[in-house]
Amino acid sequence: MKNYTHINDIDNINSWIEEAKALKKNPLQDIELGKNKTLALLFFNASLRTRLSTQKAALNLGMDTIVMNVSGDAWGIEFEDGTVMNGTTAEHVKEAAAVVSQYCDVIAIRAFPTLTDKERDKNEVVLNSFIKYASVPIVNMESATSHPLQGFTDAISISENKTKKKPKVVLSWAPHIKALPHAVGNSFVQAMQKMDVEFVIANPEGYNLDPKITKETPIYHNQEEALKDADFVYAKNWSSYDEYGKVLKTDLDWMITNKKIGDAKFMHCLPVRRNVVVADEVLDGENSLVIEQSNNRTFAAQLVLKKILENL
């Protein structure tokens, strides 16, 4: 594999899940593979899990890591072609990506959407510019429209915790105070569409995700109806896609509670706002998988890096 930027880069999700589980059992099995190889992690946005689990994955493979908070610490990067750079940006991605490529063997990038410029976000300007101008493989650590390390992690977590062949999985929108990206929801949808699960989405009117992504997946506007007989409930907030980036007037009743999910396992990518997205009783209860999900981020990233290293 060259780059890992999208759930579609997973050629066979079931075999990837089995390979990741094997890494989890024996994390240091490929400790020689990444010897003398360096992973650069570039963050345009905040992170706890991605930053640490991706580094941990690299360390398990014997790689070195270098990390930079690009937004705070680097020169402002220009992404438009032919711009007269007399504003706030000080260097072009053409130079920046080429330069960073000389210091490492793989570049991992986090770059969230603007949520104001739908075209720019859809075109994945930051991620695609790095793919275009870097000379080393690129890993997506959450871009404008997708979070494929998270989506793959969630597939692993469901596979580990399912108690029936074809469980029912519900992705439920949940309330939030801020406008949040669609990336986690999108990649979860795309991962579930590849799995042998009964998958439905629940969200209020006005909050449908991009129909090019949800495709034939059933969408309910009645949360209770969607949650009926669920085995896994994955909660996530996202802003409106149609009224791009807007927080519409919505019902706080969409918060996840024990009463709503019954015996279902609860999932969230984290960070999560307690008693806004989900009640304490759920996160503190025995059906919450959120800590286990975060652990699986390491092995999802490790498998991705392993496949890239094997192809260098």
Ligand X SMILES: NCCC[C@H](NC(=O)CCC(=O)O)C(=O)O
Ligand Y SMILES: NC(=O)OP(=O)(O)O
Q: Name the site residues for ligand X (rule: CB under 6 A).
A: 142, 178, 180-181, 183-184, 269, 271, 273
CB of 94 to ligand Y, least distance (A): 28
The one among 33, 67, 219, 270 contacting ligand Y by CB under 6 A? 270
115 annotated as ligand-binding? no
Q: Which is nearer to ligand X, 6 or 37 (CB)?
A: 6
User: Quick one: what does residue 48 bind among ligand X, ligand Y, none, with the CB cut-off 5 to 8 Å set by partner type?
Assistant: ligand Y
Cβ within 8 Å of residue 156, ≥6 positions away: 17, 20, 21, 296, 299, 300
Q: Is 60 in the site for ligand Y (CB under 6 A)?
A: no
C-alpha dihedral over 178, 119, 147, 37, to 10 degrees? -120
Residues 216, 165: Cα–Cα separation, whole Å: 21
Query: Which residues, numbered 33-52, are part of the site for ligand Y (CB under 6 A)?
Result: 47-51
Q: Which two tokens stand for residue 167?
A: 């469980």
The contact pattern for ligand Y, residues 76-115, with x = CB under 6 A and - = no contact, is: ----------------------------------------
The reply to whether 221 sits in an annotated binding site is no
- The answer to whether the CB of 34 falls within 8 A of the CB of 18 is no
Kindly determine how many residues on this chain lie close enough to bind ligand Y according to the rule CB under 6 A.
10
Spatial CA neighbour of 239 closest among 179, 285, 184: 179
Whether residue 51 contacts residue 88, with contact meaning beta carbons closer than 8 Å, is answered with: no
Q: By C-beta, is 131 or 180 nearer to ligand X?
A: 180
Nearer to ligand Y, 271 or 285 (CB): 271
- 39 marked as part of a ligand binding site: no
Long-range contacts of 71-79 (CB under 8 A, 24+ apart): 71/43, 71/44, 71/45, 79/125, 79/126, 79/129
